[in-house]
Amino acid sequence: MPRRDLRDREDLELLLQAFYQELLQDEEMHAIFHEVAGIDMAAHLPRIADFWEQVLWHTGAYAGNPMDVHLELHRAWPLRAELFHRWLDTFTRVGRALFEGPTLETAIERAHSIARIMQMKINNLDRLRKELNN
Ligand code: HEM
């Protein structure tokens, strides 16, 4: 079947289901989601789909603060650059295996820019903590 672009919520759910299934094959990612954050994926997925709906189509579905969530997570389990790499690589690979088109590419670009901002905030936090300890 030829691939087509991401069109709606149902497409997002399909993509996210496949993405997290693949991501959680990784032992460390699995530990972070299940042991550190204690996440129930069934509850997590609709929230993540709300987030992506908001990012791509400005539906107002998501109210939250992913930056704070990941800063908090980083205090419990350091989110190294390599982990962000793995996350982005999986998102890009799974996304392009299922869909094709400008909306998918926008999602991939947004994921990269959000990850960049998360890492900047994480690095700033680490720097500040180091300075305070000195
Ligand atoms: C090192 C890479 C990453 C890891 C290990 C990771 C892991 C997690 C975990 C464990 C949670 C659940 C936290 C909780 O509810 O306590 C979460 C939530 C979330 N993540 Fe990530 N994440 C990563 C990168 C990203 C990136 C790049 C994005 C952006 C596209 C993203 C978007 C989200 C969103 C929207 C939530 C839900 C926040 C909320 O509950 O409002 N994550 N992530």
**pTM for this entry:** 0.96
Of residues 1 and 86, which shows the higher confidence score? 86
pLDDT for the residue numbered 1: 63
**What is the pLDDT at residue 117?**
97
Q: Is the pLDDT of residue 86 over 70?
A: yes
Ligand 1 pocket: which of 12, 70, 79, 108 to mutate (most atoms within 8 A of CB) = 70
CB 124 within 8 A of CB 73: no
DSSP 99: B
The Å distance, Cα 2 to ligand 1 centre, comes to 30
Average pLDDT of the residues in 92-117 = 98
Separation between Cα atoms, residue 101 and residue 115, nearest integer Å: 21
Q: Is the dihedral of CA 118, 112, 108, 85 positive or negative?
A: negative
Domains in the chain, CATH or no CATH each: 9-133 (1.10.490.10)
